[in-house]
A = this chain, B = another copy of it.
Amino acid sequence: MSSLAAFAADLLAGRIKVIDLTQTLSPDIPVVSLPAEFGQCAPFRLEEISRYDSRGPDWYWNNFTCGEHTGTHFDAPVHWISGKDLPQNTTDTIPPEHFIAPACVIDCSAEARADPDFLLTVDTLQAWEASHGTIPARAWVLLRTEWSKRRGAVFVNLHQDGAHTPGPDADAIRFLFEQRDILGLGVETMSTDAGQAHRFTPPYPAHSTMHGRGRYGLQCLCNLDRLPPTGALIVSPPLKIRGGSGSPLRVLALVAA
């Protein structure tokens, strides 16, 4: 039996579990808010077309509006100026084999609970590797912070001086993308960069380095506490938007039961 057939049989028999890492899309879901001089990401809005009524007696359906970066979403390289001119940099041109990949889950939940400005460092990554092995090339690194359990203003955590949310420091990003050549960084917060990353040198090191290397981001993930440190496979196929900089998507994890 091929590995595909064995995998399919194990899925059907429940020996592989499917875990949903996606936040529900509704008008309540927070979106990133930039300084007023910049263009803004649309919140999720639903408009009912019909609901078994005169507008459509046998059917119910909706139209919707949102940003490419609303809710649990994917960042393509073209989202950042560093990835502007790369090949295969949009949601419709990325090779589809990149949409299924293994994950390394770094548990920083205690640190993020103690300090909303917690920064992931190379030391933390090397400590993780000492326990779980070298982070393989083309893997997702998922930063578990339990941030997804916050709601509303406490999730966004926006103050006068910007957002206060955890993320990687510039050295950790260089280590992951330059030394380890990972596929991308996934986080529970609204940005792959820390809330205060506009003050970093360089600013926004995750966006800048990651997308400049043609790699990807995942934001607003949840249920990372249900994943093992290694061994999960992440399914993360964005909408095929022509020239898209990203998209809301359904993110699933496959885990041995």
Bound complex: CA of A207 vs CA of B7, how far in Å? Answer: 31
**Are B12 and A3 in touch, CB under 8 angstroms?**
no
Residue from A62, A243, A249 having most chain B Cβ neighbours under 10 A: A62
Bound complex: CA of A256 vs CA of B6, how far in Å? Answer: 12
**Complex partner residue of A235 from B67, B81, B84, B100, CB under 8 angstroms:** B100
**Chain B residue at smallest Cβ distance from A44:** B241
**Are A235 and B235 in touch, CB under 8 angstroms?**
yes
**Complex partner residue of A252 from B80, B101, B237, B255, CB under 8 angstroms:** B237
Bound complex: CA of A8 vs CA of B81, how far in Å? Answer: 32
> What chain B residues lie within 8 Å of A239 (beta carbons)?
25, 239, 248-250
Bound complex: CA of A20 vs CA of B96, how far in Å? Answer: 7
Mask: chain A, 61-88; 1 = CB below 8 Å from B; 0 = not: 1111111110110000011110010000
> What chain B residues lie within 8 Å of A39 (beta carbons)?
48-50, 55-56, 61
**Chain B residue at smallest Cβ distance from A21:** B96
**Are B81 and A59 in touch, CB under 8 angstroms?**
yes
**Are A81 and B58 in touch, CB under 8 angstroms?**
yes
> What chain B residues lie within 8 Å of A243 (beta carbons)?
46
**Chain B residue at smallest Cβ distance from A99:** B252
**Are B8 and A4 in touch, CB under 8 angstroms?**
no
**Are B240 and A24 in touch, CB under 8 angstroms?**
yes
| CB of A108 closer than 8 Å to a CB of B | no
Mask: chain A, 16-43; 1 = CB below 8 Å from B; 0 = not: 1111101111100000001001111110
Return 22 A-B CB contacts under 8 Å, by A number.
A3-B9, A7-B233, A23-B240, A24-B242, A25-B92, A25-B244, A26-B242, A38-B55, A39-B50, A39-B56, A58-B204, A58-B208, A59-B80, A60-B79, A61-B245, A62-B68, A63-B67, A63-B68, A64-B241, A99-B252, A237-B252, A239-B239
- A7-B233, A64-B68 are known; give 14 further A-B pairs, CB within 8 A: A3-B6, A3-B9, A4-B231, A4-B233, A11-B100, A18-B96, A20-B96, A39-B55, A58-B81, A58-B208, A62-B241, A63-B65, A72-B240, A100-B252
4 smallest beta-carbon distances between A and B, as pairs: A237-B250, A39-B49, A39-B55, A7-B7
